[in-house]
Amino acid sequence: MSIFHNSCLKSLQAAGRFFWQSMRFLVYALAVLSGLCILAMMCITCVDILFRLGGYPLKGCYDLVRIFGALTIAGALPYTTAVKGHVAIEYFFLKLHRRGRIVIDSLSRLVIMALFGTFAWQCLLYGNALKRSGEVSLTLGVPLFWLSYIIAFSLGLTMLVTLHNLLHPGREMIKP
């Protein structure tokens, strides 16, 4: 019985390691997407400025910058959470005893997870509504529903990163 128990325990531990490694990969992938979108916004804006000097503004510049801006924010959120890079005011938090800090930190992470889960769900619903209505960008006519799906995925991933932070207090998921 103990051999079976040990093998099951090792299998669960291996599955857990695989899950968190996959999470790290997805966080890094979204961070790279975020960086590429910033680069794209810079290039599009520079090209648009140059073309405007010649009297030919870049068609769809506003649409592209808006789409890449949304992708930038969505891609950066899980990484910022994973490295614990959010701004925090800890004046009152540091005045608490260790047990009080643990309780407040745990409760706040649970609230954050509930909020991000709700936001992700609402983004999925909004994406479905955009898909049904056929909503497109103003100039280029690019369908917009997929942006809501990517944002929902990012919010769900951020929720799981917050779960990691809850289960592993004091440790970042990713070193900055």
The CA distance from 143 to 159, in Å, is 27
User: Pick from 137, 136, 159, 165: which is nearest to 77 by CA?
Assistant: 159
pLDDT tens-digit profile of 31-75?
999 999 999 999 999 999 999 999 999 999 999 999 999 999 999
C-alpha distances in Å from residue 21, one per residue of 24, 26, 64, 135: 5, 9, 32, 36
Average pLDDT of 99-117? 90
Task: Show me where the domains of the chain are located.
Answer: 25-167
Task: Give me the residue label for tokens 């990713």.
Answer: 174
Residue 100: is it exposed, middle or buried by C-beta count within 10 angstroms (0-12/13-18/19+)? exposed
Q: Is 133 helix (H, G, I), strand (E, B) or coil?
A: helix
**pLDDT-derived band at 14, boundaries 50, 70, 90:** confident
Average pLDDT, the chain: 91
**pLDDT-derived band at 160, boundaries 50, 70, 90:** very high
Give the Cβ contact number of residue 23 at 10 Å: 19
Average pLDDT of 90-115? 86
End-to-end CA distance of the chain: 43
Residue 105 confidence (pLDDT): 85
Residue 99 confidence (pLDDT): 85
- Cα–chain center distance at 146: 15
**pLDDT-derived band at 104, boundaries 50, 70, 90:** confident
Residue 4 confidence (pLDDT): 66
Residue 173 confidence (pLDDT): 84
Model confidence at 3: pLDDT above 80: no
E strands of 106-150, at which residues?
Answer: none
